Structure 1
Amino acid sequence: MITIVSGKGSPGATTTLAALAAGWPAPVLLADCDPAGGDLATGWLGQWIVDGAIRSDIGVLSHATATRHATSGDPGTLAEHVQAAPPARHVGLVAGLNTPGQHAAVGSPGWTRLTVALAAFETAQGFPADALVDVGRYGPLTPWPLLLAADLVLVAVRPTQRHVLAARSMLTELGERIAPDRLGLAVCASTSAATREVRAALGREIAIEMPTDARGAAVFSDGLDAGALPRRSPLLRSARRAARRLHGTYHTYTPAELRAPAPPTLASLIGGGSR
C-alpha cells in the first residue's frame, strides 16, 4: 500500500497517483480517500461517468455503508465496491466521496475497515493486489489509518518555495508517527536539478519524480481525450519507471508467476479473498 498526501495548494498528488496506477506493472487498486471529496473519478475518468461506465456512488461511501455493522475490515467486502478503469483495465477504482459532508458517514471506523480490506485484498488468481491511496490535503480530517498502514507514505510537493515550506511542517508532524524509512517525497512538475534542491531542503528521499508535462497531466487531472493513456507522454513514461521500481521493491515472483498473462478484465482481475 502506497499512500500519497499533499500540503497547501495543489502540488499534483492526485495526478501523480493516477499516472502511477496507469503505469503499474500488475493489478492495482486505486483508492480515492480524500475526506474533502474525491477527484480521481471525476477528473481522469470523468467522461466515463458521463457515459455511465463508471458510477461515482460506488466506492468509499458505499463500502462504509455496506460494512457499517462489521467489527473489522474484511477484504471480501470490497470487491463489489471496485470498478474497472476503462482506459487501464488493470486498475480497479475505489471511487471517492462526492461531497465533504459524506465524510461523517464514513468516520474513523469506516476508514479503518477500508484500510484493512485494501491491505489484504487479492486478485482472482490469489496474488496480493497493490493499493495506491490518495488521502488528499493533510489536515484534521486526514484518515490516519491509511497512513499508518501504508508501506510507503509519499508527500507530494512541487519545487517551489511555497510548496517546500508547506511540506516541511507536514513532514515534521508525519515523522512523529511514521518511521523514516516509510516516509518519502513525490516531487511533481519538476526537473532533476529542482528535485535535488527539494531533497536538500527537506532532507527526505525522493521516491517519485514527475516531469513537467501539461498535456499528459491534463489527461489524469481533467480527463483530456476521455482519459485515454497518452502513450508518448513524458509524465506516463516517468510514472511507468517509478511504478516498476516501487513494485519491484515490495514483490518477488517465481518464474511461473512472471510468465502468467495479465488478466484482461475486472472480473478476472479482482477477487475478494483474504491473503
Structure 2
Amino acid sequence: MIAIVSGKGSPGGTTSLAALAAAWPAPVLLADCDPAGGDLALGWLGHWVVNGFLRTDVGVLSHFIATRHATAGDPGSLIEHVQAAPPARHVGLLAGLSTPGQHTAVGTAGWTRLTVALAAFKTVAGHPADALVDLGRFSSATPWPVLLAADLVLVAVRPTQRHVLAARPVLAELAERILPQRLGLAVCATTPAGTREVRVALGREAAVEVPMAARTAAVFSDGIDGGTPPHRSPLLRTARRVARRLHGTYHTYTPSEPRIPATAAPFHLLPGGAR
C-alpha cells in the first residue's frame, strides 16, 4: 500500500497517482481517501461519471455505511464498493467522499476498517493486490490509520519555493510517527535538476519523479480525451518505469505464488462483485 499526501498549493499528487495507477504492471486498487472530498472520479474519470458508467456514491462512504456495525475490518467487504476504471481496466477505483462533511460520519473507526480492507485486499486467486491511496492535502482530518499502515508514504511537492516550504511542516509531522525508510517524496512536474533541488532542500529521497507534460497531466487531472492518455507521452513512459520499480520493490513472491504477468490483467479478475 502506497499513500500520497501533499501540503498547500495542489502540487499534483492526485494527478501523479492516477498516472501511476494507469501505468501499474498488475491489477491495482486506486483508493480516493481524501477527507476533504475526492477528485479522482470527478477529474480523471469524470467523462465516465457523466455518462453514467461510474457512480460517485459507490466507494469510501458506501463501504463505511455497509460496515458501520462491524467491529473489525474485513478485506472481503471492500470489493462491492470498487468499480473498474474504463480507461485502464486493470485499475479498480474506490471513489472518494463527495463533501468534506462526510469525513465526520466516517470517523476513525470507519477509516480503520477501510485500512484493514485496503492492506489485505487480494485477487480472486488469493494473491495480494497493490493499493495506491490518495489522501489529498494533509490536515487534522487526514486519516492516520491509512498513513500508519502504508508501506510507503509520499509527500507530493513541485520544484518551486512555495511547494517546498509547504512540504516542510508536513514532512516534520509525518516523521514523528513514520519510520524514515517508509517516508519519501513524489516530485511532480519536475526536471532532473528540479528533483535534485527538492531533495537537497527537504533532505529526503524522491521515490517518484513525474516530468512536466501538460497535455497528459490534463488527462489525469481533468479527464480530457475521455481519460485515455497517449501511450507515447514522456509522462506515461516515466510512470511505467516508476510503477515497475515500486511494484518490484514492495511485492514479494513465494515459490507457490506465480509472478503477475507484465501485461496487467483486467480488474474484474479480482473477487466477486467488482464492476
TM-score (norm. length: structure 2): 0.95
Structure 1 residue 252, shift from structure 2 partner:
3.5
User: Contact (CA 8 Å) 2:97, 2:103: kept in 1 or not?
Assistant: yes
Instruction: Identify if the C-alpha distance between structure 1 residues 168 and 78 changes in structure 2 by more than 3 Å, giving closer, same or farther.
Output: same
2:141 counterpart residue number: 141
Secondary structure in 2 aligned to 1:40? coil
Shift >6 Å, 4+ stretches:
none
For residues 190-243 of structure 1, the C-alpha deviation after alignment (integer angstroms, 9 at most, x for no partner) is: 000110010001000110000000001000000010101221111111111100
User: Contact (CA 8 Å) 2:91, 2:266: kept in 1 or not?
Assistant: no
User: Contact (CA 8 Å) 2:75, 2:121: kept in 1 or not?
Assistant: yes
Structure 1 residue 126, shift from structure 2 partner:
1.3
2:30 counterpart residue number: 30
For residues 28-47 of structure 1, the C-alpha deviation after alignment (integer angstroms, 9 at most, x for no partner) is: 10000000000000000000
1:4 counterpart residue number: 4
Give the letter aligned to residue 118 of structure 2.
Answer: L
In structure 1, what is the Cα distance between the partners aligned to 2:264 and 2:67?
28
Structure 1 residue 262, shift from structure 2 partner:
5.7
Q: How does 1:179-194 map to 2 (within 5 A)?
A: 179-194=179-194
In structure 2, what is the Cα distance between the partners aligned to 1:58 and 1:6?
25
Quick check: 1:204 aligned with 2:204?
Answer: yes
Structure 1 residue 168, shift from structure 2 partner:
1.0
Secondary structure in 1 aligned to 2:187? strand
Structure 1 residue 24, shift from structure 2 partner:
0.5
Secondary structure in 1 aligned to 2:42? helix
1:62 counterpart residue number: 62
Structure 1 residue 259, shift from structure 2 partner:
6.8
Secondary structure in 2 aligned to 1:117? helix
2:52 counterpart residue number: 52
Quick check: 1:100 aligned with 2:100?
Answer: yes
Structure 1 residue 271, shift from structure 2 partner:
5.3
1:40 counterpart residue number: 40
Q: How does 1:86-235 map to 2 (within 5 A)?
A: 86-235=86-235
User: Contact (CA 8 Å) 2:186, 2:208: kept in 1 or not?
Assistant: yes
In structure 1, what is the Cα distance between the partners aligned to 2:251 and 2:130?
10
Give the letter aligned to residue 12 of structure 2.
Answer: G
For residues 41-89 of structure 1, the C-alpha deviation after alignment (integer angstroms, 9 at most, x for no partner) is: 0000000011111100000000000000001100010010000000111
2:269 counterpart residue number: 268
User: Contact (CA 8 Å) 2:26, 2:262: kept in 1 or not?
Assistant: no
Task: List runs of 5+ in structure 2 lacking aligned partners.
Answer: none
Give the letter aligned to residue 147 of structure 1.
Answer: L
In structure 1, what is the Cα distance between the partners aligned to 2:248 and 2:264?
19
For residues 75-117 of structure 1, the C-alpha deviation after alignment (integer angstroms, 9 at most, x for no partner) is: 0100100000001111010000111111112111110000000
Give the letter aligned to residue 181 of structure 1.
Answer: Q
User: Contact (CA 8 Å) 1:92, 1:270: kept in 2 or not?
Assistant: no
Structure 1 residue 260, shift from structure 2 partner:
5.3
Give the letter aligned to residue 4 of structure 1.
Answer: I
2:252 counterpart residue number: 252
Secondary structure in 2 aligned to 1:100? coil
Instruction: Identify if the C-alpha distance between structure 1 residues 151 and 51 changes in structure 2 by more than 3 Å, giving closer, same or farther.
Output: same
Instruction: Identify if the C-alpha distance between structure 1 residues 179 and 270 changes in structure 2 by more than 3 Å, giving closer, same or farther.
Output: same
CA RMSD in angstroms, aligned pairs only: 1.6
TM-score (norm. length: structure 1): 0.95
Give the letter aligned to residue 77 of structure 2.
Answer: T
User: Contact (CA 8 Å) 1:9, 1:163: kept in 2 or not?
Assistant: yes
User: Contact (CA 8 Å) 2:122, 2:270: kept in 1 or not?
Assistant: no
Task: Tell me the matched-pair count.
Answer: 272
Structure 1 residue 265, shift from structure 2 partner:
3.8
Give the letter aligned to residue 165 of structure 1.
Answer: L
User: Contact (CA 8 Å) 2:14, 2:39: kept in 1 or not?
Assistant: yes
Instruction: Identify if the C-alpha distance between structure 1 residues 49 and 200 changes in structure 2 by more than 3 Å, giving closer, same or farther.
Output: same
User: Contact (CA 8 Å) 1:126, 1:271: kept in 2 or not?
Assistant: no
Instruction: Identify if the C-alpha distance between structure 1 residues 174 and 12 changes in structure 2 by more than 3 Å, giving closer, same or farther.
Output: same
In structure 1, what is the Cα distance between the partners aligned to 2:239 and 2:82?
23
Secondary structure in 2 aligned to 1:218? helix
In structure 1, what is the Cα distance between the partners aligned to 2:208 and 2:189?
11
Instruction: Identify if the C-alpha distance between structure 1 residues 81 and 199 changes in structure 2 by more than 3 Å, giving closer, same or farther.
Output: same
